[in-house]
Amino acid sequence: MTRRLTRTGEGRLGCFLWMSLVALFALVAWKVVPIRIKSSELSSYMEEQAKFAYRASPAALKKRILAKARELELPVDPKRVKVERRGPRIVLTCSYTVPVEFPFYTYNWKFDLKVDRPVFMVELRARPGPVPA
């Protein structure tokens, strides 16, 4: 009586499925991560611009945001960027959609960025103290 020491066919399907899953995850990460990083950079830039909004007009801020979006290669429509001063606050909004193309499927990823913060005016006042002679 001969005995088989190895079992054939075990584990091959499971390995193939796991490798396919890892490849799919890598493809999604390859496409999605750069877009997310660029969107985060635009959001940070909008925050930075809002911090110093007292220096620039709303039209100038809008122009800067659009220039940064072009630099990051994001498809931002000028009609979808709004800069509003509401009393002592500034509100920056930017909406855009990035098409993410996969084999056999295109996903439209929508972004709605909004920055709402107070505008601080920096005033230069003379300090009280001795007058120089």
pLDDT at 130: 64
130 lies in a domain?
no
Count of structural domains, the chain:
1
DSSP string, the chain: -----S-TTSSHHHHHHHHHHHHHHHHHHHHHHHHHHHHHHHHHHHHHHHHTGGGS-HHHHHHHHHHHHHHTT----GGGEEEEEETTEEEEEEEEEEEEEETTEEEEEEEEEEEEEEPPPP---PPPSPPP-
The reply to whether 129 falls in a domain is no
pTM of the model: 0.76
User: Residue 93: inside a domain, yes or no?
Assistant: yes
Q: Which residues contact residue 76 at a Cβ distance below 8 angstroms, ignoring those fewer than 6 apart? A: 42, 65, 66, 69, 70, 94, 96
Give the range among 2-11, 49-58, 87-96 with minimum mean pLDDT: 2-11
**Banded model confidence at residue 15, pLDDT cuts 50, 70, 90:** confident
pLDDT-derived band of residue 129, with 50, 70 and 90 as boundaries?
A: low
d(CA 124, CA 19): 64
Q: Identify whether 75 is part of a domain.
A: yes
Q: Give me the phi and psi of 19, to 5 degrees please.
A: -65, -35
Read off the pLDDT band of 100 (50, 70, 90). very high
Res 14 pLDDT > 90: no
The predicted pLDDT at position 12 comes to 72
Range of the domain at 90: 30-118
pLDDT for residue 70:
97
Indicate whether 110 belongs to any domain. yes
Between 41 and 102, where is the model more confident?
A: 41
pLDDT higher at 133 or 102: 102
Q: Does 45 fall in a domain?
A: yes
Please indicate, yes or no, if residue 107 is contained in any of the structural domains.
Answer: yes
Please report the pLDDT score of residue 7 as a whole number.
60
Domain contains 9 = no
